[in-house]
Chains A and B, each alone.
Chain A
Amino acid sequence: MKKIISVALVFCLVLSCCAVFASAKGEKVTLYVYNWGQYIAEGDDDSIDVIEAFEEAYPNIRVKYSTYDSNESMYAKLSGGGITVDVIIPSDYMVGRMRQENMLLELNYDNIPNAQYIDESFRNTSYDPENKYSVPYTWGTVGIIYNTKYVDEADVTGWELLWNEKYADKILMFDNSRDAFGIAQYLLGYDINTTDEAELQACADKLAEQRGVVQQYVMDQIFDAMENEEAWIAPYYAGDYLTMVEENENLAFYRPDHQGFNMFIDAMCIPTCCQEKEAAELFINFLCDPEISAANMDFIGYSVPASASKEYLDEELANNPVAYPDAQELRNATSFDYLPEDVARHMESLFMSVRNG
């Protein structure tokens, strides 16, 4: 009996060693992609599987895909050291911050010919003036998603809906400092890139006021909560609204034009800890291909930064004002810019005290 056990144990040991080393061998290049959650089409609901398509186009590259739920988590993981990743897709202000802190590598556009399709309006941005470090992946807007079955249209007048006592415990809020402070800044009429101490404190106080009516501070958990009607009101990104409304048609999207709302660009970059730069550039190039980009956006619902891709988009999506608001609607939209490190840290600690109470 004991002999059988010891033989079995040795067998397991050998097997596991083989498994470990088998994965280490193999001539494939492994590409680590780190992206937002729910931000790429992976074959669900008959959509294209972008990663699989890429691996078919480049058979010697294997993609390992991981997700994060906010720019700050991604930044914390990268600056904390200890991991390697080849492609990241941060938002505008985070690209700016990482560029300032020399955490990004310059892109070799010889490997990214598809970057030519990116529209003029998305080039030479404030966060990456010479486009040396990033290529736009999507753009979008932030607004309020609400459930028409339970929420009175008359109450939907602006960002203050998120503070409305009538819907206490049915309101969700952003679980990251930048987006949360942004909403408070729009509500109080401040510039969303302010560094003024008094203004930031006023925003923190406003957010602390909101705690009583907030059910939960969420990022990706919002999908389940809104679709199952656990919560009725939440601020979130337009593309995700389009995903949610397919599961629950009672949901509507509202952008407070008069107070202003956030327009963001998420861009693909290569961090300095990258091990496979060429493969990373090939991946970025692949995502910029108009057909692939359109098929991808069809699923995730966000907006393409290239008109050439718009031609391949599903017509309904291309004409949807939620995804593609016209210039008139966008007149009061502003974008985040990167804040100096001490201000960013201060904002983070203010948000932490709002969360902790």
Chain B
Amino acid sequence: MKKNNAVLLSTPYLIWMVLFTLIPLGVVGYYALTDPSTGEFSLVNLRQLGMYLPVLWTSILYSLASAVVCLILGYPVAYFIAHCSQTAQRFLYMLVMLPMCMSFLLRTLAWVGLLNDQGIINNLIVALFDQLRALGGWMTNRLGWNALGGWLASIPEDFGRLTLIRTPGAVVLGMVYNYLPYMILPLYTTILKIDHRLIEAAEDLGCNAVQTFRRVILPLSVPGILSGMTMVFVPAVSTFYISQKMGSSSTVLIGDVIERQFKQGNNPNLGAALSIVLMILVFVCTGIMNRFGGDEEGSVVV
């Protein structure tokens, strides 16, 4: 393709991206360095950042935890799908992608309905214990098994309600649920590409299943693992909806704080400063991950 043509075709796009990707970041920088009331250059926002370090740290911990859980849950699934027949693969791939396309807000709300104190799971548990109590009564009256029956019948009313929501576990669950497909898909694509002959060779040389996995399959799936972890970590660290719905009042993530500054606090300057911090954080993390994985130009493994 002639060089001039290439430049001609790509220039409008490059201008668009500079205009709507780089320049907005510049505007964010401008707001971050401006005093909210006077509009003049000031470092007041940067000074306030120190107060939010614990929040940032909490967000990183939660996201890392979710990424690891997603990896543990997602790897077997990706492996299984990669070893199915072609049609099955297509179908399963579609099934994994489908939840991603549906409203993430409503699905999170469904989890709230499931985990609530008066929610579906708790109601089921209580109903189960109700049945056990009834069983105990039946045992005592009909079968005369007083000991066992009496014990079962003495289960108190409304027993078994667990506090599932508004715990850190619920927040991690929410993140894992929403971002699991983002882990499965890159893993699946990478595992698919692993050359079978390498596995056969390993087996021929005497490795059992575990050794083959550890020495051949796992190292070859590293690009997928890194890609998946990045794709889970980045949205998880910046989410605000999941922590608002599933977390307690003390679970405050950096996304919450940024959103509050813009929507309630009327302090876009502090919000901008926090956004820059978040962006730098993500940049550093993806940089680290790319270092370990070696970079492939232009291929987010999707």
Q: In the complex, are there CB atoms of A and B closer than 8 Å?
A: yes
Taking beta carbons and an 8 Å cutoff, which residues of A are in contact with B? 70, 72-73, 75-77, 79-80, 169, 176, 211, 214-217, 228-230, 341-342, 345, 348-349, 352-353, 355-357
Task: State which of B7-15, B71-79, B256-264 sits at the interface with chain A.
Answer: B256-264
Q: Which residue of B lies closest to A217 (CB)?
A: B249
Stretch of B169-177, B195-203, B214-222, B265-273 at the chain-chain interface: B265-273
Query: Which residues in A have their C-beta under 8 angstroms from that of B163?
Result: 169
Hey, which chain A residues are within 8 Å of B249, CB to CB? 211, 214-217, 355
Could you list some 30 contacts between A and B, CB below 8 A? Answer: A70-B264, A72-B265, A73-B264, A76-B262, A76-B263, A77-B263, A80-B266, A80-B268, A169-B163, A169-B166, A176-B264, A214-B249, A215-B166, A215-B249, A216-B248, A216-B249, A228-B116, A229-B118, A341-B37, A345-B36, A345-B266, A345-B267, A348-B265, A348-B266, A349-B265, A352-B260, A355-B260, A356-B252, A357-B54, A357-B250
B151 at the interface (CB under 8 A from A): no
Chain A residues within an 8 Å CB radius of B54:
357
Q: Which residues of B contact A72 (CB under 8 A)?
A: 264-266
Q: Which of B227-264 contact A (CB under 8 A)?
A: 248-250, 252, 257, 260, 262-264
Q: Is B289 an interface residue (CB 8 A)?
A: no
**Measured between alpha carbons, how far is A5 from B251 in the docked complex, in Å?**
48
Report the nearest A residue to B48, measured CB to CB.
A349
Main secondary structure of the interface of A (DSSP, over half): helix
Report yes or no: B266 in contact with A79, Cβ–Cβ below 8 A.
yes
Contacts between the two chains (Cβ within 8 Å), count: 64
Query: Chain B: which residue is nearest A344 at the CB level?
Result: B266
A residues near B257, Cβ cutoff 8 Å: 352, 356
A70 to B48, CA, bound (A): 25
**In the assembly, what is the distance between CA of A357 and CA of B118, in Å?**
28
Please give the number of chain B residues whose Cβ is less than 8 angstroms from any Cβ of chain A in the complex: 25
Across-interface contacts of B263 in A (CB, < 8 A): 73, 76-77
The minimal Cβ–Cβ distance linking A143 to chain B, given in whole angstroms, is 22
B residues within 8 A CB of A80?
A: 262, 266, 268
Cα distance, A75 to B252, chains bound together (Å): 23
Q: A230-B117, A341-B37 are in contact. Are A355 and B267 (CB under 8 A)?
A: no
**Closest A residue to B264 using CB positions:** A72
Cross-chain contact B266 with A75 (CB below 8 angstroms): yes
Chain B residues, CB < 8 A from A357: 54, 250, 252
With A169-B163, A229-B118, A352-B257 known, 6 other A-B pairs at CB within 8 A are A72-B264, A76-B266, A79-B266, A80-B262, A345-B36, A345-B267
> Counting CB contacts under 8 A, is B52 at the interface?
yes
A76 touches B250 (CB 8 A): no
Closest B residue to A75 using CB positions = B266
A76 touches B264 (CB 8 A): yes
Assess whether A345 is in contact with B264, with CB atoms less than 8 Å apart.
no
A352 pairs with B37, CB closer than 8 A? no
* Cα A216 to Cα B265 with chains together (Å): 18
User: With A176-B264, A230-B118 in contact, do A342 and B250 touch (Cβ < 8 Å)?
Assistant: no
Which residues of chain B are within 8 angstroms of A353 by Cβ–Cβ distance?
A: 51
Closest chain-A Cβ to B237's Cβ sits at a distance in Å of 16
Known pairs A230-B117, A342-B37; A356 contacts B266 (CB<8 A): no
Q: Top 7 closest A-B pairs, CB basis?
A: A76-B266, A72-B264, A356-B252, A214-B249, A228-B118, A348-B265, A73-B264
Q: Does B126 contact A (CB under 8 A)?
A: no
Interface residue B55 (Cβ < 8 Å from any Cβ of A): yes
